[in-house]
Structure 1
Amino acid sequence: MEERVFETRIGSKLHYFKRGNGPIMIVSPPAWGLSSKYLQEGLAPLEQTFTLVYLEFRGNGKSTRPDASEMTCWHLADDIEYLRQELQMERVPYLLGHSGGGTIALWYAIRYPDKVDRLVLLNHRLDGFDDGDSLKNSIIEKKRDPKMHAPLRAWTSSWDDLSDEKFAQKIRLFLPVYFFNPDASVQSKELNSIQTVPLWNYQLLHGNERKVQHQEQELGKVAAKTFMIFCQADPVCTPTQGNATQKGIVGSKLVIYEQCGHFPWIEKGEETFRDIIEFCAL
Structure 2
Amino acid sequence: MEENVFETKIGSKLHYYKRGSGPIMIVTPPAWGLSSLYLQEGLAPLEQTFTLIHLELRANGKSTRPAASEMTCWHLADDIEYLRQELHLKTIPFLLGHSGGGTIALWYAIRYPDKVDRLVLLNHRLEGFDDSESLKNSIIEKKKDPKMHAPLKAWTSSWDDLSDEKFASIIRSFLPVYFWNPDAAVQSKEFNSLQTVSLWNYRLLHGSDQKDQHQEQELDKVSAKTFMIFCQADPVCTPTQGIATQKGIAGSKLVIYEHCGHFPWIEKGEETFRDIIEFCTL
| TM-score of the pair, normalised by structure 1 | 0.99
1:78 has 2:61 as partner: no
Task: Could you list the structure 1 runs, at least 4 aligned residues long, displaced by more than 6 angstroms after superposition.
Answer: none
Aligned partner of 1:273 in structure 2 is: 273
- List aligned pairs for 1:2-41, cutoff 5 A: 2-41=2-41
- SS of the residue corresponding to residue 155 of structure 2 reads helix
- Aligned equivalent of 2:96: 96
Aligned to 1:160: 160
RMSD: 0.6
Q: Distance in 2 between matches of 1:198 and 1:41?
A: 20
The verdict on how the C-alpha distance between 1:159 and 1:70 changes in structure 2, with shifts beyond 3 A counting, is: same
Matches within 5 A, 1:178-189: 178-189=178-189
In the alignment, the residues of structure 1 paired with residue 259 and residue 224 of structure 2 have an alpha-carbon distance, to the nearest angstrom, of: 29
Q: Which amino acid aligns with 2:65?
A: R
Letter in 1 for 2:35: S
Which residue is equivalent to 1:138?
A: 138
- Counterparts of 1:38-57 in structure 2, within 5 Å, are 38-57=38-57
Distance 1:10 1:230 in 2: 35
Shift of 1:62: 1.1
- State the Cα deviation string for residues 216-264 of structure 1 (Å, max 9, x = none): 0000000000000000000000000000000000000000000000000
Give the distance between the partners of 1:64 and 1:278, measured in 2 at CA.
Answer: 36
Residue by residue over 1:164-201, the C-alpha shift from the partner in whole angstroms, topping out at 9 and shown as x without a partner, is: 00000000000000000000000000000000000000
Distance 1:54 1:14 in 2: 11
Counterpart of 1:252 in structure 2 is 252
Matched, 1:174 2:180: no
Residue equivalent to 1:208: 208
1:24 is displaced (CA, Å) by: 0.2
Write the distance in 2 (CA, Å) between the matches of 1:281 and 1:161.
48
Q: Tell me, in whole angstroms, the C-alpha distance in 2 between the residues paired with 1:81 and 1:66.
A: 16
Higher alpha-carbon deviation: 159-168 or 220-229: 159-168
Mapped partners of 1:160, 1:267: distance in 2: 33
Residue 212 of structure 1 deviates from its aligned partner by 1.6
**Structure 1 position 192 matched with structure 2 position 203:** no
What is the DSSP-based 3-state SS (H/G/I as helix, E as strand, rest coil) of the residue aligned with 1:256?
strand
Does the residue aligned with 1:227 lie in a helix, a strand or coil? strand
1:158 Cα offset (Å): 2.8
Amino acid at match of 2:182: P
The one-letter code of the counterpart of 1:97 is G
Deviation at 1:157, TM superposition (A): 4.9
Structure 2 CA distance for aligned equivalents of residues 264 and 21 of structure 1: 23
Residues 69-118 of structure 1, C-alpha deviation per residue, up to 9 Å, x if partnerless?
Answer: 00000000000000000000000000000000000000000000000000
Q: CA deviation at 1:159?
A: 1.9
> What amino acid maps onto 1:187 in structure 2?
Q
How far did residue 135 of structure 1 move? 0.2
Structure 1 unaligned spans of 5+: none
- Distance across 2 between alignment mates of 1:195 and 1:187: 17
Q: CA deviation at 1:160?
A: 2.1
Matched positions, count: 282
Q: TM-score, normalised by structure 2?
A: 0.99
SS in 2 for 1:3: strand
C-alpha separation between the residues in 2 aligned to 1:184 and 1:29?
21
Q: How far did 1:156 drift?
A: 3.6
Report the equivalent of 1:227: 227
Q: Out of 153-162 and 218-227, give the one that drifted further.
A: 153-162
